[in-house]
Amino acid sequence: MAEKKKINVGMIGHKFMGRLHNHAYTNVEAAFDIQSRPVKKVLCGIGDDVPETAKRWGWEEWSNDWEAVVARDDIDLIDIVAPSKLHKEIAIAAAEAGKHVFCEKPLAMNLQDAKEMVHAVQKASVVNTIGFNYRKTPAISLAKKLIDDGRLGRIFHFRGLYSQDWLVDPEFPLAWRLRESEAGAGSSWDLGAHVVDLARFLVGEIDEVIGSQMTFIKERPVAKIEDGLTAIAGDEMGIVDVDDATSFLAKFEAGAMGLFEMTRYGTGHKNENRIEIYGSKGGIIWPGFENQNQLYFYDAEDPDGERGFRRIQIGEGSHPYSSGWWPVGHNIGFGETFVHEVYDLLTAIDHKAEVSPSFVDGYKCQEILAAVDQSIAARSWVKVSEVGNL
């Protein structure tokens, strides 16, 4: 058998999202039939723990200097899992060096930066994708298929609720996701980016929005040590300058209504990303990521007397991505959605094709979130088309 082509990866970042992307590169070949295999070439990060992490995760080399990694001739793909404020510089440098780019969400710190990133990958003709991993859960892919096949008819409602509760504790420190200078925004971009992407993916483009947001706890201990989603409080206090929770209403171009809520104060929920969609012929409920392997489907065309929401167990049938995993009922988790992202990315590199989602999707998502920010400032509806232009 001919040896597989190799795709050498340089990954910038080695914390929470780094762990997940590492998991994806490690497992993709065992799960799916891929033509080219990823080689975990260089792991790059800041801190004394980079060499040890690189060794433990099985990377060939480590580095503290992302520019040197991007400049290497033997790297084909740059994977950006560093905080949001670093995305633009790394992605543009990578594209200009002719590397394919995988960037975590949100794409950038503002729309102008996001636009420059899109232009850079387009000019360089490199394959580009953004980490909207919830698109890659089999249940969401199945929901997309049902909608595309017309099983819901005309869509009237989209509801997306993303609830986590890690900020209910007032002692939780000001980690980077709570600092505007590094994250750009709070729940609105961190969680909202996923919900808005699912809305666009499943229902289509949004025409206008009106939002509201709050920061419930305005001062927190400054983080002494932080690592991904965990942090240890120091003695000083600092001001929280991002939103704790954001909600907004939307009107879709195709005439549906949207209701969105993102919060880090959804007490009891650790990572619940729930979707409901209702149309003239049926309804869909994704009960949330904590039960990601189920999809509820109501078919209004079922026979009289038999109608009701049916619970579809993912893997019971030929659901997207399920062929890579365990028997039905033996359920996949968070890590597998990242394997699906990498599988789609490697396949696109092999076929010189576009990946869904791309940097353009990252830009469009950010345009909607910027329109929400503007609507909050103006206390009125804002048209998405008046906020950006690509």
Cβ nearer to ligand SOE, comparing 214 with 229: 229
Mention every residue, 6+ apart, whose C-beta is less than 8 A from residue 362: 103, 105, 106, 107, 108, 114, 117, 118, 130, 132
Q: Whole-number minimum distance, CB 253 to ligand SOE, in Å?
A: 26
What single string gives the DSSP state of each residue in 151-169? Answer: TT-SEEEEEEEEE--TTSS
Q: Does 337 bind ligand SOE (CB under 6 A)?
A: no
Q: Which is nearer to ligand SOE, 41 or 274 (CB)?
A: 274
- Rule CB under 6 A: is residue 271 a binding residue for ligand SOE? yes
Q: Name the residue with tokens 């993303």.
A: 162
Nearest-angstrom CA–CA distance, 250 and 258: 5
The residue among 271 and 294 lying less far from ligand SOE, judged by its C-beta, is 271
Bridge-partner residues for 297, per DSSP? Answer: 284, 310
Handedness of CA 171, 177, 180, 185 (dihedral sign): negative
- Among 113, 190, 197, 208, the residue binding ligand SOE under the rule CB under 6 A is 190
Restricted to residues 275-334, the positions that interact with ligand SOE (CB under 6 A) are none
- Cβ atoms of 101 and 358 within 8 Å: the answer is no
- Please report whether residue 341 would count as binding ligand SOE according to CB under 6 A: no
Burial degree of 228 (CB within 10 A; 0-12, 13-18, 19+): middle
Where in 132-171 is the site for ligand SOE (CB under 6 A)? 164
Q: Which of residues 216-245 bind ligand SOE (CB under 6 A)?
A: 229
Give the nearer residue to ligand SOE in terms of CB position, either 195 or 371. 195
CA 335 to mean position of chain CA atoms: 13
Instruction: Please report how close the Cβ of residue 136 comes to ligand SOE at its closest, in angstroms.
Output: 12
Cα 254 from Cα 251, distance rounded (Å): 8
**Closest of 297, 255, 248, 300 to residue 276, by C-alpha:** 297
Angle formed at CA 67 by CA 65 and CA 70, multiple of 5 degrees: 115
* Least distance CB 286 / ligand SOE (angstroms): 15
Binding-site size for ligand SOE (CB under 6 A) equals 5
Q: What is the CA radius of gyration of the chain?
A: 21
Beta carbon of residue 207, minimum distance to ligand SOE (angstroms, whole number)? 26
Residue, CB closest to ligand SOE: 190
| Least separation in angstroms between CB 380 and ligand SOE | 29
Cα distance between residue 381 and residue 379, in whole Å? 7
Residue 27 or 271: the one with the smaller Cβ distance to ligand SOE is 271
Shortest reach from residue 191's CB to ligand SOE, in Å: 6
Least distance in angstroms from the C-beta of 134 to ligand SOE: 7
CB of 245 to ligand SOE, least distance (A): 12
**Given the complex with ligand SOE, which of 184 and 283 has the nearer CB atom?**
184
Residues that bind ligand SOE (CB under 6 A): 164, 190-191, 229, 271
